[in-house]
Amino acid sequence: MSAQAVRERVAVDEGVAGGTIVRVDAGGAGAAGWADDVQGPSAQVIDAVNAHVAATPAAPLVVTVTVAGAGRLEEALVQAVRGIVGTAALEISGAGGRASTVVASASTLSDDVRAVEEYLLDEARGGYTTGATIDLRGGPVEGRADDGAVLVTGAAGGLGFAAAEAIAGSGRRVVLTDRAGDALTSAGERLGMPTVACDLTRPEQLAALAASPELEGLDAVVVHHGVGASTRFGADYDRAASDRSLVLNGTTVFDVVELLLPRLRPRGGTVVILSSQAGLTAEAGNGPYCAAKFAVMGYVTSLAQALAGDRIAVHGLCPGPVDTPLMRAAFAGFAIDLGEDPEEFTARRLAAIPLGRAGDPQQIGASTALLLRLHATGVVLAPTGGETLS
pLDDT digits (tens, 9 = 90+) for 185-221: 999 999 999 999 999 999 999 999 999 999 999 999 9
Percent of the chain exceeding pLDDT 70 equals 97
pLDDT, residue 20, reads 97
pLDDT, residue 5, reads 52
In the predicted structure, residue 98 carries a pLDDT above the cut 70: yes
pTM, two decimals, is: 0.94
Q: When comparing pLDDT for 53 and 32, which is higher?
A: 53
Domains of the chain: 3-135 (3.30.750), 149-381 (3.40.50.720)
Burial call 251-266: b when 16+ CB within 10 Å, e when fewer: ebbeebbebbbebbee
What distance in Å separates the CA atoms of residue 59 and residue 177, rounded to the nearest whole number?
Answer: 38
Q: What is the mean pLDDT of the chain?
A: 94
Count of CB atoms situated within 10 Å of the CB of 91: 15
Question: Chain-centre distance of CA 16, in angstroms?
Answer: 23
Residue 237: pLDDT band with limits 50, 70, 90: confident
- Provide the Cα torsion 260, 263, 268, 273; round to 10°: -20
In the predicted structure, residue 3 carries a pLDDT above the cut 60: no
Count of CB atoms situated within 10 Å of the CB of 325: 10
Across 159-188, average pLDDT: 98
* Longest CA–CA separation in the chain, Å: 67
pLDDT, residue 209, reads 98
pLDDT, residue 122, reads 98
Handedness of CA 142, 148, 153, 156 (dihedral sign): positive
What distance in Å separates the CA atoms of residue 82 and residue 151, rounded to the nearest whole number?
Answer: 34
pLDDT digits (tens, 9 = 90+) for 44-81: 999 999 999 999 999 999 999 999 986 789 999 999 99
In the predicted structure, residue 326 carries a pLDDT above the cut 90: no
Handedness of CA 202, 205, 211, 212 (dihedral sign): negative
pLDDT, residue 69, reads 81
Identity of the amino acid at 248: L
Helix, strand, coil percentages for the chain (3-state, nearest 5): 50, 20, 35
